[in-house]
Amino acid sequence: MKKKLIAGNWKMNGATATNAALLQQLLAGVGQPACDIAVCVPAPYLAEVGALVKGSAIAVGAQDVSAHDAGAYTGEVSASMLRDLAVRYAIVGHSERRQYHGETDGVVASKAQKALAAGITPIVCVGETLQEREAGLTEEVVKRQLAAVIHTNGHCISEIVVAYEPVWAIGTGKTASPEQAQQVHAVLRAQLRAATEHSDRVQILYGGSMNAANAAQLLGQADIDGGLVGGASLKAPDFLAIIAAAA
């Protein structure tokens, strides 16, 4: 049976000392988890976090990856560099990157392609804004965002992770109801099913104010295969409770 995946997205938070303390608590509390676990950390900490969790149940992820292979792209980090550091996942197309860094569906699709080619699992984020939801455009938006990645990545599509993150639920404390989330996850599953016979392998995560109190209900939905957790992943007891809810 497919395992669930609980991935923490630390966003632009952390420092050497606090990272070590957080990971120590996670490693002490995680036991033999029934789910896959990852922490997606800021690029400067990938190597040290990798060393701290080596051999444990916790995998390391990046929060972005370049759409280019190498060369004159100041500030960018390539998929082969991530591979070099034994990074297992890379978030691509997070709404904060789409919004603040102008990433288009095409750029996100290329980033997913570079990750896949380097043997890194892209966690492809899709999600509608509040305005789009209120205009009845939710399905159209998430399908368009995922279609770009499917179109560019063809038969590799069963190797990705998808994260549905309604923009209005990120960092706001407003969670999509389990029913609202399931409805969109079912749409994404159907889209994947039409693209690959291995669609059931794809983990579709929910993200947006997931916490210790609401995780079990969200993770109990038929097509919710895990969580992409922001704020709650920075507090060990909360993240551990979400991991326990994924059993």
- C-beta of 11: minimal distance to ligand 13P in Å? 7
Two tokens, residue 205:
């995560």
Residue numbers at the binding site for ligand 13P (CB under 6 A): 9, 94, 165, 170-171, 207-210, 228-232
Q: Is 165 a catalytic residue?
A: yes
Q: Which is nearer to ligand 13P, 133 or 196 (CB)?
A: 133
CA-closest candidate to residue 181, choices 144, 142, 150: 142
The Cα–Cα gap between 125 and 129 comes to: 13
Question: In Å, how far from its chain's centre is CA 242?
Answer: 15
Catalytic position from the list 96, 159, 165, 185: 165
**Cβ 1 to ligand 13P, closest distance in Å?**
25
Minimum distance between the CB of residue 10 and ligand 13P, rounded to whole angstroms?
9
Which of 38, 229 has the CB closer to ligand 13P? 229
Considering the complex, what minimum distance in angstroms separates the CB of residue 154 from ligand 13P? 26
155 catalytic? Reply is: no
164 versus 196: smaller Cβ distance to ligand 13P:
164
Q: Closer to ligand 13P by CB, 109 or 164: give it.
A: 164
Whole-angstrom distance, CA of residue 87 vs CA of residue 85: 5
State the SS3 of 128-190.
CCHHHHHCCCHHHHHHHHHHHHHHHHHHHHHHCEEEECCHHHCCCCCCCCHHHHHHHHHHHHH
Rounded CA-CA distance 206/222 in Å is: 12
Residues annotated as part of the active site: 94, 165
